[in-house]
Structure 1
Amino acid sequence: MDVFALDRRLQSDSHSVMQIGLCDLRLSKDARWPWLILVPRRCDVSEVFELTPLDQVMLTFETDLVAATLKKITGATKINVGALGNIVRQLHVHVIARFEGDANWPGPVWGFGKAEPYEEGKRDEFIEKLREALSS
C-alpha cells in the first residue's frame, strides 16, 4: 500500500493547520492574503476526477467548510477557490480571502509580487483561530 506524502513544494510554502478528514489543511506562508490550501491525503492524485466519488464529496464538503470559516474569521469581500496544479501536480485546493484594496485586487494572487512572511505571533494566532472555528 502506498503511503501519502506531501509534495515538497507544498511542504516548504505552507504551514500545517490541521487534518480535517480527507484533507490536510495548510496556511500559505504568504501573509499578503489569508490563503489556505486543502490537500487530499491520497497518493498519486492530481485531478479531482481521480478521487473516488465519496472522496469527491468529502473534498467539496471540506472546501465549503474551510471557505465559509475563512470568510467568517476574516470578513473577506470575496473568497477565491481554485485547483490549478500546473506546477505542483499533487491535487490541492486553494481557498483565499480577498479584500477590496488588497495586494493586486481584483487581479489574481498567482505570480503577483513577492511573498511576504507572517510575523510568527500573528501566524500562530491565525492558525489557532482556524483550529477553534473548524473544531466547533
Structure 2
Amino acid sequence: MEPGAPQLHEAYPNNILKHTDMKKGDYQAAIREPGLIKVEGWYETPTVQHCHIENHGCFAYEENGRITVVSSTQIPHIIRRVVGQALGRPWSDIRVVKPYIGGGFGNKQDALYEPLCAWCSTQVHGRCVRVDCSRE
C-alpha cells in the first residue's frame, strides 16, 4: 500500500481490495446525554472453557501395516507425528484422516485421545477402537 509499491492487481489501486467504514449512532452526542452513568472498576469472571459444537472424539484401526486415525482435529500433521512418537513407529506408518469439522474455534489444536486410541487399536490386533467424549 506504500507509494511506489508494486501493483499486484490492476483492478485494485494501491493493492486495496476493499475498504469499509462502519458507524452507528453519534458517540460524541451519546456521551453528553443527561443521565449517563459511567461504570468503572475491576471485575472478575470465572474461568470458562469454550464449548465447540462437536465433542472430542476419534477412532483408529490398523490396515496393511499402517495405523489410520480418524479425528476431529485441527492439527492432522502434528497428530501424525505425536502418534508415531507415542507408538515408536515411523510417521509413514501413521495415516490421519480429518473429516470436515465445524466450530472447533481453536479448541481442537491439541493431541488429546489420538495416541491412546491408536495404541488401544494395536492391543486388539488392529481392530477399530473408538474414543468418544460426551458432554457429561
Do Structure 1 and Structure 2 share a fold, with TM-score over 0.5? no
TM, length-normalised to structure 2: 0.24
TM, length-normalised to structure 1: 0.24
Instruction: Determine which structure has the larger helix proportion and give its number.
Output: 1
Point out the structure with max Rg over C-alpha: 2
Instruction: Determine which structure has the larger strand proportion and give its number.
Output: 1
